[in-house]
């Protein structure tokens, strides 16, 4: 078995999350009963959570939360 690079692994995670979101939208779009809507919602929730987990390191680095949080503490707690 060939080793998988980090980029391929990240692409697989993002791709599967987007696939779950698309599947949830399709299930909700073609559903005629409430049970199918619930299943589509589960797919949407799982895909959204997977996408959020996949992009969290990038959002954390972009916002630089570690430098922002101490300033919030000084603002709220003097």
What's the pLDDT tens digit per position in 13-52? 888 888 888 888 888 888 777 777 788 888 888 888 888 8
State phi, psi for 44 to the nearest 5 degrees: -65, -45
- Say what the pLDDT of residue 72 is: 60
Do 42 and 24 touch, CB atoms closer than 8 A?
yes
Which range has the worst mean pLDDT, 4-8, 9-13, 67-71? 67-71
CA geometry: angle at 11 spanning 42 and 14, to 5°?
Answer: 20
- Say what the pLDDT of residue 3 is: 79
End-to-end CA, the chain: 57
Do 45 and 20 touch, CB atoms closer than 8 A?
no
Q: How many angstroms from the chain centroid is the CA of residue 2?
A: 27
């Amino acid at each position: 078995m060939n080793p998988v690079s980090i980029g391929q692994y990240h692409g697989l995670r993002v791709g599967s999350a987007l696939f779950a979101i698309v599947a949830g939208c399709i299930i909700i779009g073609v559903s005629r009963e409430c049970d199918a809507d619930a299943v589509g919602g589960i797919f949407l929730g799982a895909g959204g959570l997977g996408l959020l987990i996949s992009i969290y390191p990038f959002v954390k680095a972009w916002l630089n939360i570690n430098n922002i949080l101490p300033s919030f503490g000084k603002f709220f707690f003097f």
